[in-house]
Structure 1
Amino acid sequence: MGEASTIDLFDGWRATFEPVGDWLGVRLHPPAGGGQWQLAEGLWREIHRRGALQVVLEMDEITFFSSALMSELVRVHKRVAMAGGRLRLSGLQKHPHEALHLMRLDEVLPIFRSRDEAIQ
């Protein structure tokens, strides 16, 4: 594993980036009450800067998925896919997992129980 670094994305959102083999693990840290707008842009900018094509978004700290957050995740997925890469999600709690399933986004965004499972 490589060196982990945590950065501010925007509006209270933070992310910890950690190289894991050929993958980039990205653990999202949500704000106490801020929105999700422009999360995709901040994430993509940092993913692209690091040259990552295989990304696991670690969602362990996210307890609620609003439609805005789901939209931002789809935007990140599209940006990574357009660059020739893959995006996977890991560590979803019950509500976020159910919300993605209800919207059929689990057919687009592969979901895994853990980061280790996602990178295999």
Structure 2
Amino acid sequence: MSSSTQTGRGRVLKVCHVIDEFTRQHLAFRVERRMGAADVIDMHDLAVLAYGAPQVLCADNGPEFIAAAVGHWASEHDTLQAFIPQASRGWADSWSPCTTACAMNSSRTTCSMGSTTRA
């Protein structure tokens, strides 16, 4: 799933998460200014090496997820694709507030330390 956010300078950042829906374990995460299907596939390949292939890949309808290359990747890994309806957009965004803030690190705080600034 992916979401986007803006930096203090107004630049868009794409944040993509791989989360196990059963355990809620965060398996992988990537932040880029632009993200395409190849980036999504690379991230999933790393997650598969560590955790094995998923039975179902649930994603929003962004172009980086509905691309034919991602469908081909899913077929190669015997993974079913499921897409979140457009009206449920907030579902993906609800996972990312802390990771987005940490990725942007605009205030030099870390999520694991609450709102404390790193030394």
Normalising by the smaller structure, the TM-score range is: 0.3 to 0.5
**Greater CA radius of gyration, 1 or 2?**
2
What's the TM-score once normalised by structure 1's chain length? Answer: 0.40
